[in-house]
Structure 1
Amino acid sequence: MIKRRVTWLALAMLALSAGFLLWQLKGPTGFILTLRGTKLATLIMVGAATGAATILFQTVAANQLLTPGLVGFDALYVFLQTLLVFLLGGVGYAAIPAAAGFLAEAGLMILVAVIVFRLLFRNGGADVIRILLTGVILGIMLRGLAELLQRLLDPAEFSVVQQASFASFSAVSPAQLAITGTALAIALFLCARMAPRLDVAALGRPVARGLGLDYDRLIMQALALVAALVAISTALVGPLTFLGLLAASLARELVPTHRHAWLIPAAALTGALILVAGQFVFERLLGQQSTLSVIVEFFGGLLFIALIFRRRTL
């Protein structure tokens, strides 16, 4: 039953991808397919990375309310964009090679994430309030620094920061896609290798250690993968705070199992489906270009609030 449901998710992803590429295909087909293929690959990679990362993060934190985006990745991304424009100017920022800028941003976010995660989960992930408060405080601090730098920019440079601060799936280069695809494939392979041990870790630290699992080492390995997955997706298109929560929650409903060998691919496929389906509706059917990230964040935020109230009433 579980295998069949994951297979149906994969088939739905293939059918939706075909529709995204071929819907009302007119004019210079080669050029149009190249543009659509690049955007489709971006949507799939970002959705898959975010969905898989959220399942890992929730397992480590032993809480299905949490998502890596709550730890301040969006604020860190905006601060980095603002700092680059402040130091280099609008012209210098635009002159940064796409691949080099992507690698630098992703590397810095991975480093910061690993440090923050190590501090947060040093004594386990049971203290959810501490994790959330740390993420909120970190986000406020980085947003404050970003706003301070933005006040020192001239209007033209401020518009560059504003444009770079929102998730966009249209300005991705083939070099960035190649780097992201390679990193994502390696990370998902490591997730698959780690899945049986994650099943044991989900039982809790005392039980997992009693069964012979090196729990602390596994947690740090999982957090390193979370940091890598979230960093590459954020550096590629920008922040999508609640996409992971949507993908993980829907995946748990569609594939009701505790086995990470099925949960991780289900969440990756669900995240990709959300983005591709949303982009298809807004771009192909409604003729919109920039509303997907806003809608995803809106519904993700509503889901987060609903899950909180659901936990309080149980």
Structure 2
Amino acid sequence: MRASRATAESDPAALGVLHPSARALPAPGGTEAPAAPGGDRRLSRATLALLGIATLVLSVAGSVRIGSSDIGYGELGRALGGRLGLSVEPLPPLLDSLIWDLRLPRVLLAALVGAALAVCGAVLQAVTRNALADPYLLGVSSGASTGAVAVVVLGLGAGSLGVTGGAFAGALLSFALLLLLLRRGGLDSLRIVLTGVIVGEFFAAVTALILMASGDADTTRAITHWLLGSMASARWDVVVIGAVTTAAGLAVVWGCAGALDAFAFGADTAASLGIGVRATRATLLVVAALMTSVAVASVGAIGFVGLIVPHGVRFLVGPSHRALLPFTALAGAVFLLWADALARVAFAPREVPVGVFTALLGVPLFLIVLRKRGEL
């Protein structure tokens, strides 16, 4: 007893000092501080879940209406009803195409990408025990940028890949390099962070070199717009891929929720609880990298979603990943939906890259969260 207490006092990580969420996690023995009655907590989370789902549905409907041409809820209902085979008055072909082929894929893709990035941020913050971790910590976004630039500027694989395919190939290449560099030294948190930074900086430098070599101002401007994130090229096939990837990834990481809770106490504590630390970390890194790769390849590198959303949700529902992950997905979807809607109308008819607005919205929200947590 005395020895274990001395160990805790000499090791701040055991008390969760290095990871703010660890202070409220269950103790390794499975007991939990009685912060609130179990029934009240479940009711609160159930209420939040219903509110979150309702907010997401209303946000999707509201975001479809926003744009250069206003669309009423009745017109949206008729477009959906017609596609579902219901007996409704058909819309004019141009308006029907605007809703079904342009607005709805864009809105759904924004929701899926927001959910994926937010969940990846929560996972990597737990795996690396780094409160500043986000989905781009692994260098995937830099690799995706290099792949997209190589297709547009150099024409590599332009006939078969396209920008989306090139970005995805670049993201996988950067992650393969990360795994190669981590192969011998292990998957401890510090090595993951440092190696991810190295890989990201390398591919960022390659991207800059390619852009400098192009010498075409219009191409550089178009690539820069894509790098900051845009939903303008959303299509139904991309939405389907994003939906499958996000749903499968969320299912896998939610199944590892207990391991993510244990990681907040450190690898040694997780191992003492019977968790295969190396295999679980590798699985979570692969899933996070794939989800991020699909998201970045689809819409570009949209920052701040994976950083700010998990912290805000953790403040509302607590640090347990069993609740944190689904609520983070909901919040990330709603956040990016409205950021994209704002990007469409703020400077209409010109569209601003959505990454600009996620940063503008994310910075003050992050400051508010830090203030509420007493860390600012």
- CA positional deviation for 1:306: 8.7
Aligned residue number for residue 57 of structure 1: 124
Partner of 1:25: 71
| Letter of the structure 1 residue corresponding to residue 99 of structure 2 | L
Aligned partner of 1:77 among 131, 137, 144: 144
More helix by share: 1
What's the CA shift for 1:46? 0.4
Q: TM-score, normalised by structure 2?
A: 0.70
Q: Note the C-alpha offset of 1:294.
A: 0.6
Taking every aligned residue pair, what percent have the same amino acid on both sides? 22
Gapped regions of structure 1 (runs ≥ 5): none
* Matching residue's letter, 1:172: A
Match of 2:283 among 217, 221, 224: 221
Matches within 5 A, 1:276-291: 276-284=337-345, 287=348, 289-291=351-353
Aligned with 2:240 (options 178, 183, 187): 178
Larger CA Rg, structure 1 vs 2 = 2
Matched with 1:251 is 313
Measured in 2, the distance between the counterparts of 1:13 and 1:219 equals 31
The one of 230, 237, 240 aligned to 2:302: 240
Residue of structure 2 equivalent to 1:40: 107
User: 1:69·1:242 contact (CA, 8 Å) conserved in 2?
Assistant: no
Question: Structure 2 CA distance, aligned partners of 1:269 and 1:293?
Answer: 19
Superposed, 1:103-182 pairs within 5 Å as 103=165, 105-113=167-175, 115-116=177-178, 119=181, 122-125=186-189, 127=190, 133-155=194-216, 156-182=218-244
Alpha-carbon shift at residue 169 of structure 1 (Å): 0.3
- Distance in 1 (CA, whole Å) between partners of 2:49 and 2:256 is 19
Which structure exhibits the higher relative contact order, with contacts defined as CA atoms closer than 8 Å and separated by 6 or more residues? 1
Displacement of 1:54 in angstroms is: 0.9
In structure 1, the partner of 2:134 is 67
Task: Kindly provide the amino acid, as one letter, of the partner of residue 122 in structure 1.
Answer: G
Cα separation, 1, equivalents of 2:321 and 2:314: 11
CA displacement, residues 236-270 of structure 1 (integer Å, 9 cap, x when unaligned): 100013210021112112222x2212111111111
Question: Which residue matches 1:207?
Answer: 269
| Secondary structure of the corresponding residue to residue 290 of structure 1 | coil
In structure 2, distance between residues paired with 1:310 and 1:112? 37
- 1:68-94 per-residue CA deviation (whole Å, 9 max, x = no partner) reads 2244333222222222234328xx74x
Q: TM-score when scaled to structure 1?
A: 0.83
1:14 aligns with 2:57: yes
Asked if 1 retains the 8 angstrom alpha-carbon contact of 2:178 and 2:199, the reply is no
In the alignment, the residues of structure 2 paired with residue 235 and residue 289 of structure 1 have an alpha-carbon distance, to the nearest angstrom, of 20
Instruction: Specify whether residues 228 and 151 from structure 1 end up closer, same or farther in structure 2 by C-alpha distance, changes over 3 A only.
Output: same
Rounded to whole Å, the distance in 1 between the matches of 2:171 and 2:225 is 20
Distance in 2 separating the partners of 1:71 and 1:278: 24
Q: In the TM superposition, what whole-angstrom CA distance separates every residue of 1:2-52 from its partner, at most 9, and x where no partner exists?
A: 232233112111111122224541674422221211111110110011011
Aligned 8 A contact 1:3 1:262 in 2: no
Structure 2's unaligned 5+ residue stretches are 1-43, 73-91
Pairwise CA distance, 1:180: 1.9
- Distance in 2 between the 1:88 and 1:116 partners? 26
Distance of 2:154 and 2:301 partners within structure 1: 22
Q: Secondary structure at the match of 1:280?
A: helix
Partner in structure 1 of residue 85 of structure 2: none
The answer to whether the 8 Å contact 2:117/2:295 transfers is yes
In angstroms, what is the RMSD of aligned CA positions? Answer: 3.2
- Cα separation, partners in 2 of 1:253 and 1:175, compared to 1, 3 Å: same
